[in-house]
Structure 1
Amino acid sequence: MSLKPQSQLLSIDVNVVFQEMKQKKSQKKLTPAFFIFVVLGWGGYWFSPYLLDSTKPVLKIKGLVDQEIYSGKIDVDIMATDPTHRSTGLSSVTAQFDQDVPIKLKKRKRFSRFYTNRPPAPFVIDTTNLDEGFHSITVIATDKSRNRNHNQIQYTFFVDNQQLRIETLPNPIRVTQGQTSAVFIKTSEPVTKVKAKVFDKDYVCYPVKFDSSQGHFNRLLIGVSVQESVGIHPIIVSMTDQMERVTEKTFFARIGRTEFAHGGYVKLSPEKQTIMMDKSKTREDNEKRWKAYKQANKTAVQLWEGHFIRPTSGALTSPFGKYREYNTGVKRHHLGIDIANQVGTAIYAGNSGVITLVDNLHVYGKTVVINHGQGVSTSYNHLSKIKVAIGRPVKKGQEIGLMGATGQVTGPHLHWGMVVNGTAVDAEQWIDQDFSYDDDETLGQ
């Protein structure tokens, strides 16, 4: 084993020491730079959102719906957050009612992760302190960035705290047995639904398009039975406003007596007597007719125009309501108008509408029913020929068939009937009186 000279060993040691000293000196130079780098990096990390953030806050309102109607108190919860991962947080959230001075909303006491993102505390809008009508609320959320990013939403709402006021025209309401009464129900504000109960039967009321400065109107057509008791009867009107509040008010109608004609003995042939006394066939006929009449109750549009016309020429042989006796022993009111003439005489539509029944019935013979809308129908019975089809529209004065002697009759004639909301009434009244509402003069009738 050979040994290196001592001088060579000494040289190696000096070099090692020199290298170590050089590294330590270099480390001493890097320490301040590294520290500055860390500080700048850390500061940039935290302050860059403040300098560079351009994202708007997220803003939502709970408890309030745009263009909705409100009354009483409204619980409002505004959800406002700064959505970025490293957000600057919210600087302020303000609410402005109408054109008033904006109000800075208080923040919640309890919050989620970040103090800076505390949303506003819920608050209450007491609409009783506001005027009736439209109002607006504008909410603005602003963050803490140098750009002061902000988001804004505006809701418009309607305040309705007034009690619905209802009255009727005419007042008082007077109508006689077998007649029709048009009752206009006036309200202080628009309503979404109007119903009435008259003679323990439900009626639908239909909106009337008059000048709203006069009020808001719905029309109730009341058909009075020939057998309705004379005296005072309640009319219970139920209305639902746009707040879904139901207001009910009772009015009263005076039902007067109608002196219907009495007398007349109707002598049917044995064949016609058999037709009349067949209860199952009569019931089947009536079911078909009432099914057709109900179509008018489902038609909210007024299809007729102005006065009705007499549907054919000839002699009026039996007026509406006449109390007659048959040789079968049956005694009852005549619920139509009989107009006699020759077989083949033209029959015309009393007014415009839609055909809801075309059939050859056991008692009424060849029959046509026209739906005139809003609960009003007319029937044309005992025809020899029908010239219209079910479901087809017809115009006032349009020929719909020919006079005949089909069904239970003693000779050729037209039995013209009218039904208003399920009650047979005198069609002659509709010839004399205009029950349409084309102009404001109807209100005075």
Structure 2
Amino acid sequence: MFAQEIKLYFEKNTIKNAQTALLRLQAIDIKEPKLTLLDKEPFNLNFKKNSFKKNEYYALIPISYYKKPKKYKVIISYFKSNKKYFKSIKLNVIDGKYKSETINVSKSIFKPSKKRVQRTKREYKEAMDIYRSVSDKILWKENFIYPINSKITSAFGTKRVYNNELKSYHSGTDFRAQIGTPIFASNSGIVKIAQNRFYAGNSIVIDHGHGVYSCYYHLSKMNFKVGDFVKKGQKIGLSGATGRITGPHLHYAFRINGIQVDPLQAIKVLNTLNN
């Protein structure tokens, strides 16, 4: 059963793969609101208090790029007056129909050495350990902004064909940025990564709380270190051409609850929380 006084809002219950769905729950005096997206491996989430709205909870449901297009059942539960309530709703995931692009790089860059493989595996594990960490504290108080006002040169989700071989998809949004262009924090948070990595080059990753992370890659200069608190709009560094890259630009990415998602769509969703 589901308590009658509870109001449930599922914004855009039809969503593309690699996008983020928002589920809002308006309720008074409830405990442990949770949801489960049913699949071969169920995806469990705890609702968070929406600091922008009184008596409201929300959950961000990130959909993997590789999630099979179909209708998924989402189970919501919570306790009220020592009684547990349930409700199920549908989330329709459709194919994003992302484009493809071919990238030619030198064989010395493309062919991995044993040392390179060890490095990239270590860097990936270190990053994923961070992305899977979800803080109960929200660190932003205002809407998210773009890190740079520039032309988008490569959209999120594009299939990446390196030297005529499909290797991956574009995991972020690329903005045109000559070396030395100021890059700004999309919102307030704590720096969790500030280091040079093989693929991403000089990288800054900001934890905004509630499982939301923004990422800024290929920088020529980083102005902050791990543990620093960054305010929305602060200059976190300068754009560059570090890492595995064919030319200078800013690669801007988002992780929500550990899953890579379209950063620009995620910003739109997050900015509706105070509406």
Short-chain TM bin: 0.7 to 0.9
Q: Select the residue among 98, 106, 126 that pairs with 1:269.
A: 106
Which of 347, 350, 355 is residue 186 of structure 2 equivalent to? 350
1:289 aligns with 2:163: no
Letter in 2 for 1:185: L
Instruction: Summarize the Cα distance change of 1:209–1:397 in structure 2 as closer, same or farther, 3 Å threshold.
Output: closer
Task: Give me the whole-angstrom Cα distance separating, in 2, the residues matched to 1:167 and 1:241.
Answer: 14
Identity %: 28
Shift of 1:179: 1.6
TM-score by length of 2: 0.87
Q: Residue 63 of structure 2 aligns with which residue?
A: 224
**Structure 1 residue 434: deviation in Å?**
4.9
2:46 partner letter: V
Structure 1, unmatched stretches of 5+, are: 1-161
Runs of 4+ aligned structure 1 residues displaced above 6 Å come to none
The counterpart of 1:259, out of the listed 97, 103, 124, is 97
Residue type of the alignment partner of 2:147? P
Which of 163-172 and 202-211 deviates more? 163-172
Deviation at 1:211, TM superposition (A): 7.0
> Offset of 1:315 from its aligned partner?
3.5
Name the counterpart of 2:21. Answer: 181
1:205 CA displacement? 0.8
Q: 1:197 aligns with which of 36, 44, 51?
A: 36
Residues 53-92 of structure 1 mapped to structure 2, 5 A cutoff:
none
Q: In structure 2, how many angstroms separate the alpha carbons of the residues matched to 1:321 and 1:211?
A: 32
> RMSD across aligned C-alpha pairs, in angstroms?
2.6
**Structure 2 residue runs without a partner (length 5+):** none
User: Could you tell me which residue of structure 1 aligns to residue 10 of structure 2?
Assistant: 170
Question: 2:269 matched to 1:424?
Answer: no
Structure 1: which amino acid aligns with 2:24?
Answer: F
Distance 1:379 1:211 in 2: 27
2:114 pairs with 1:280: no
Bigger strand fraction: 2
1:207 aligns with 2:45: no
Does the aligned pair in 1 maintain the 2:102–2:164 contact within 8 Å? Answer: no
TM-score for the superposition, normalised by structure 1: 0.56
What is the DSSP-based 3-state SS (H/G/I as helix, E as strand, rest coil) of the residue aligned with 2:165?
coil
Q: 1:153-186: CA deviations, max 9, x gaps?
A: xxxxxxxxx9744552037723222222211123
Q: Quickly say closer, same or farther: Cα 1:309–1:210, change in 2 above 3 A.
A: closer
Matched with 2:202 is: 366
Larger radius of gyration: 1
Q: How many residues align?
A: 270
Distance of aligned partners of 1:414 and 1:335 in 2 relative to their CA distance in 1, 3 Å threshold: same
CA contact (8 A) 2:211 2:257 kept: yes
Which structure has more relative contact order (CA 8 Å, sep 6+)? It is 2
Residue in structure 1 matched with residue 76 of structure 2 by the alignment: 237
